[in-house]
Amino acid sequence: MASLLAVKKTFLRQMVPAINKRLVSTSKKHNDTITTQAVSASKEQAKEPQNWISYGFDYKSKSEDRHAMHSTIFSAVTLCLVVGGFIWAYIPDYNLRSWATREAFLELRRRENAGLPLIDPNLVDPAKVELPSDEELGGTDIII
């Protein structure tokens, strides 16, 4: 990100004079500023109006501040919303939910065609299951 901002600063320094020549202003007071600077202000400070509120990216240059803000918003919308939404929409089914649903429907269809009950009450063979005796259970309540 830092390299992107460095490239944009050099680009802006070269292109700002050309961009400013193409702008059309309908207000005659667009360059009027109220400043308390000393008379010995540099030419760069005199060129750029001081009556702007920074977006927090650059407090010295209005054009760099605006460009950084627009770059950040563009990146956030493009990367987070568009690319993130694309990834979220097309991410593989890592929990295999759709596979399990398809398998369940195929198994139901197979059982219906074979005339079997949809859910087998003896899924596990009762001869293989060892249950505790009544003496081992004692007074434990069994809820079925």
Query: 4-8, 56-60, 75-79, 122-126: which has the minimum mean pLDDT?
Result: 4-8
What pLDDT score was predicted for residue 1? 57
Residues 97-115: pLDDT tens digits?
A: 889 999 999 999 999 999 9
Structure tokens of 12? 């802006």
**Is the pLDDT assigned to residue 13 strictly greater than 90?**
no
Structure tokens of 32? 């009027």
Q: Which of the pair, 69 or 93, is modelled with greater confidence?
A: 69
Orientation angle between helical segments 2-22 and 62-75, nearest 10 degrees? 120
Quickly state the pLDDT bin for 39 (edges 50, 70, 90). very low
Region 37-53: mean pLDDT is 59
User: 116-134 burial string, b = 16+ CB within 10 Å, else e?
Assistant: eeeeeeeeeeeeeeeeeee
